[in-house]
Amino acid sequence: MWGMIATWRMAFEGVSKGAEMLEAGSNAGDAVEAAIREVEDFPYYKSVGYGGLPNEEMEVELDAAYMDGDTLDVGAVAAIKDYANPVSIARRLSRETVNSVLVGEGAEKFAHKEGFERKNMLTDRAKAFYRKRRKEVAGQELKPYSGHDTVGMVCLDDGGKVTAATSTSGLFMKKKGRVGDSPIVGSGFYADSKVGGASATGLGEDLMKGCISYEIVRLMKEGLHPQEACERAVNLLDAELKERRGKAGDLSLVAMNREGQWGVATNIEGFSFAVALKGQKPKVYLAKRGEDGRCTFEEASREWMEDYMRTRMAPVEE
Ligand code: SD4
């Protein structure tokens, strides 16, 4: 059995590519890396890799991570600038026994020494979004804007290996040096080939408060189906945050176990995700949480898929 699940519609092309690789016998490490690179390279996805939205100082600082569920190796980079594929740097770092999580300049030095491709990741389109945003908030304090998305994936190969990986430009207009959940093991991602994996998107500052990806894998280890595990962990964190802090940020999770069963949970409207399984075509689904806290989903219609691409590629009106 092989399978892949990933956050957001934007992962679809990557998941499709990963699925082809898995079908052809690739391992879950190569497939998840290739799948995330596909998302990083596409300039119209404004929250991951090339074309990602910048921080307050108009710099694109990227976070990414990789975890190998066989060895529990983790590698991550945070606030890295000017490199094309942060996920590949993270995967390379996962093979180090120490110094496997690097930030900023240290991460860039490592990437340079290892010969990773340098690239100015700030596109004209991202600059236009930045200028527009500055105008909208002229005279007010710049606040991070959370309306954009991290790609987080879990991958299972035919040999039973589970991996997880993430990549993001984090919150638009974030402070320089801000690090979200995506490169933090247990929060943005977790993989254990004996159990399964999970990955998150949403407000990093809140996702981290629940170590939510680890929590989901832990619940799966106790025997819960990935759907039950996701719902239980997300609903509990959402409730705890509301009780203690009056509100909860966006929390959306995907998970897959070592049998290829999968689950999702979210506390927002409009969470989309992509799934590929052996013997089935890759699909995009839209999820929502019902009054009872259960998460339901349906396959995205063709109109929805077309509209998504149209809006992603529409000119930026400044
Ligand atoms: C972060 N979790 O940096 C990321 C952002 C994200 O949907 O996923 N937005 O906090």
pLDDT band per the 50, 70, 90 thresholds, residue 51? confident
Average pLDDT, the chain: 95
Q: What is the pLDDT of residues 145-190, one digit of tens each?
A: 765 689 999 999 999 999 999 999 999 999 999 999 999 999 999 9
Which residue among the candidates 71, 97, 123, 150 is catalytic per the annotation? 150
- Does the C-beta of 168 come closer than 6 Å to ligand 1? yes
Indicate the range of 29-43, 122-136, 166-180 predicted with least confidence: 122-136
Residue 47 C-alpha to ligand 1 middle, in angstroms? 9
- Measured CA to CA, the distance from residue 133 to residue 216 in angstroms comes to 36
**pTM assigned to the model:** 0.96
What pLDDT is recorded for position 11?
96
Mean pLDDT of 61-83: 98
What pLDDT is recorded for position 24?
98
Residue 66 C-alpha to ligand 1 middle, in angstroms? 16
Indicate the range of 9-23, 43-57, 163-177, 238-252 predicted with least confidence: 43-57
Q: Select from 77, 168, 212, 273 the residue to mutate for testing ligand 1; criterion: most ligand atoms less than 8 Å from CB.
A: 168
Of 240, 286, 282, the closest CA to residue 266 belongs to: 286
Both tokens assigned to 59: 């710099």
Cα dist. 198→4, 46, 66, 83, 173 in Å?
11, 23, 12, 26, 27
Share of the chain above pLDDT 70, in %: 98
Judge whether residue 85 has pLDDT over 70.
yes
- Does the C-beta of 178 come closer than 6 Å to ligand 1? no
What pLDDT is recorded for position 309?
87
Of 151, 128, 132, the closest CA to residue 42 belongs to: 151
